[in-house]
């Protein structure tokens, strides 16, 4: 095999690996009208992650809706704060380049919507830690 052919083959194999990793990229966060209840699903195609998040949420959270979803890889975080008039406010970050940035963004979203004493209640990474975050 010629050197040029080997380089092309290596490049094609690398692109195929990236494509297969990104084919499963997807995260979604659903929120229910009870408590409020939040559920996240990640590591699936975006549409499947959305269906899974809704199913998980509906099992405990009453009527649910998707509040964030993406087909990109990255870190995610969900923050919850108290509402001045009572109840809770949720802030979400998905497809962030780092765990820290996801937490900061989720907290900022929560506070910007009026959340008081906001705290990160959930963090996740798509793909899971055992797989590299390539294809960004």
The domain locations on the chain are 24-126
pTM here is 0.78
Q: Compute the average pLDDT of residues 2-15.
A: 42
CB 95 within 8 A of CB 70: yes
Q: How does pLDDT run across 77-111, given as a tens digit for each residue? A: 999 999 999 999 999 999 999 999 999 999 999 99
What is the b/e burial string over 83-107, where b = at least 16 CB atoms within 10 angstroms of the residue's CB? eeeeebbbbbbbbbeebeebbbbbb
């Amino acid at each position: 095999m010629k050197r040029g052919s080997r380089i092309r083959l290596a490049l094609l194999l690398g692109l195929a690996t990236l494509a297969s990793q990104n084919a499963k990229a997807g995260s979604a966060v659903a929120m229910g009208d009870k408590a409020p209840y939040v559920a996240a699903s990640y590591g699936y195609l975006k549409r499947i992650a959305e269906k899974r998040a809704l199913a998980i949420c509906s099992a405990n959270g009453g009527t649910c809706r998707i509040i964030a979803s993406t087909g990109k890889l990255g870190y995610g975080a969900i923050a919850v704060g108290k509402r001045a008039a009572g109840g809770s406010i949720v802030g979400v970050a998905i497809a962030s380049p780092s765990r820290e940035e996801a937490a900061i963004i989720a907290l900022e979203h929560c506070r910007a919507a009026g959340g008081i004493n906001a705290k990160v209640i959930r963090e996740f990474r798509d793909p899971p830690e055992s797989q590299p975050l390539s294809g960004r």
